[in-house]
Amino acid sequence: MALLLSPEQELIKKVVADFARQDLAPDATRMDRESVFLREHVAKMAPLGLLGMFVPPERGGAGTDTLSFVVAVEEVASVSGTDAMYMILQNALVTNLAAQLMNDPEDEALLRSLLKGEALAACAISEEASGAQPDMIRTTVKPKGGLLEIKGAKSFVAMAGVADTYLVLCRGPSGPQFVAVPKGAKGLHFSPSESKLGLRGLPLADMYLNGVEVPASAALGESGEGWKLLDAPTDLARLGVASALVGLTQGALDMAIDFAKGRVQFGQPIAKFGAIRAMIADVQAELEAARATTYGAAALRDSQKEFKEEVLEARLLAHRIAIRGTKIAHKIHGGAGFMRDLPLERMSRDVRTLMHVWDAQDVTRSRLADLLLG
Ligand SMILES: Cc1cc2nc3c(=O)[nH]c(=O)nc-3n(C[C@H](O)[C@H](O)[C@H](O)COP(=O)(O)OP(=O)(O)OC[C@H]3O[C@@H](n4cnc5c(N)ncnc54)[C@H](O)[C@@H]3O)c2cc1C
């Protein structure tokens, strides 16, 4: 796969890989055990441009291409699922949407502080009755005496309660509308943060918007742009999840390879046993197929071509190998794989949690079938 990357993309891969190992990996276990979000990781990602990869340089972003985003997410995920998920959220949704929808000088200041990691934002789309179907959302925004009034509730919002600003998807009088809501807005409440199976360093909570009032300028972009407003960012988020699953699984497989070389049974390293060798070879080959599809989808987007089908294919392949690959990594580790002093069990939990973000396997399969069969 390395052959497909340009020298610039190779450089990004190397820089992010070194950064992830030196600056993120040492905290990954603590973030998981203590369910703690480390703001200093955000501060360290900012100077590398990892918070605004799709934002043009003239607006303070890195202005990189989609393949660079995919490669960077993969490298971060290979050591820390929580940090990879945060990166996906910021790049595909938060700063990408903010750059597209925020245009006045006050908004520009917010965008700049998000890119510098000084301010944190979240993107609230999902609701109790509309997990995989954003067009079923019930949260409304209506004009009220020169202001906007928001009523509704959002579920499973990453960074809820911690972020300073929320890009809330609402149903407006003339269609879907994102509205920027500050954390301190009257009528905005948060549930306690969920205790999750995986990605435990990422805060996740529900939001209640009980008649929240914001100025009319908080409406982002044109209301009535339709659900296509969500298409591009959610496809990028799905692609990001596919690459994070590939990265996490590669991390787990690399650990299994190291373990197999060092663990001696029946007088030789278990890496000498045919069954172990075959499992490792199979997982690496299937992982490479998922990676190639992920890169292919990214490259299509970079050539301004339709990439929806390839994103769904990448997601499906990544789901499959992530489950199989982490299972085999456990098998190769024997009993040691289930001990909490190895990162493998955290990575398996992160894989299983990540698979449900922006469409689980069944929904992905059903979306792909719709594209193929109508
Ligand atoms: C760690 C984490 C972070 C998240 N962060 C955010 C965030 O920042 N912002 C945000 O808005 N949301 C966020 N979410 C929400 C996430 O995107 C939703 O959980 C996801 O869209 C699925 O919705 P749901 O949980 O309601 O599942 P449902 O849609 O209720 O699905 C439940 C099950 O039914 C299956 N199913 C549903 N529809 C079909 C179908 N048509 N065909 C076949 N099977 C189907 C699904 O595959 C799944 O197995 C996050 C979730 C997690 C776990």
Give me the mean pLDDT over the 132-155 stretch: 93
Mutate which of 95, 130, 156 for ligand 1 pocket (most atoms within 8 A of beta carbon): 156
DSSP-derived pairing of the beta strands 165-172 and 268-269: unpaired
Tell me whether the CATH fold assigned to 121-220 matches the one assigned to 228-373.
no
CATH class of the region 228-373: mainly alpha
- Residue 268's Cβ-count burial label (10 Å; 0-12, 13-18, 19+) is exposed
| Residues 184-205: tens digit of each pLDDT | 999 999 999 999 999 999 999 9
Tell me: pLDDT of 313 over 70. Answer: yes
Structure tokens at 240: 């990001």
Report whether residue 151 contacts ligand 1, using a CB cutoff of 6 Å: no
Closest Cα to residue 345, out of 196, 195, 193, 197?
Answer: 197
The pTM for the full model equals: 0.96
Given CATH 1.10.540.10, say whether it is the number of domain 2-115. yes
Query: What's the pLDDT score for residue 180?
Result: 95
Tell me: pLDDT of 2 over 60. Answer: no
pLDDT band at 54 (very low <50, low <70, confident <90, very high): very high
Give the Cα separation of 243 and 251 in Å (integer): 12
Closest Cα to residue 123, out of 103, 100, 96?
Answer: 96
Give me the half-sphere count of Cα atoms (radius 13 Å) on the Cβ side of residue 8. Answer: 8
CA 156 to ligand 1 centroid distance, Å: 9
Q: Which atom of ligand 1 lies at the shortest distance from residue 124's CA?
A: 11
Query: What's the pLDDT score for residue 1?
Result: 57
| Residues 67-120: tens digit of each pLDDT | 999 999 999 999 999 999 999 999 999 999 999 888 787 788 899 999 999 999
Chain centroid to CA 77 = 10
Q: Note whether 168 and 181 are within 8 A (CB).
A: yes
| Residues 356-367: tens digit of each pLDDT | 998 888 899 999
Q: Note whether 367 and 268 are within 8 A (CB).
A: no
CATH number of 121-220: 2.40.110.10
Q: What percent of the chain has pLDDT over 70?
A: 99
Query: What's the pLDDT score for residue 132?
Result: 75
Tell me: pLDDT of 228 over 90. Answer: no
Q: Note whether 96 and 233 are within 8 A (CB).
A: yes
Mutate which of 91, 133, 357 for ligand 1 pocket (most atoms within 8 A of beta carbon): 357
Chain centroid to CA 153 = 22
The number of residues in the chain equals 374
Query: What's the pLDDT score for residue 3?
Result: 60
**Where do the structural domains in the chain lie, given as residue ranges?**
2-115, 121-220, 228-373
Q: Classify 288 as helix, strand or coil.
A: helix
Report whether residue 166 contacts ligand 1, using a CB cutoff of 6 Å: no
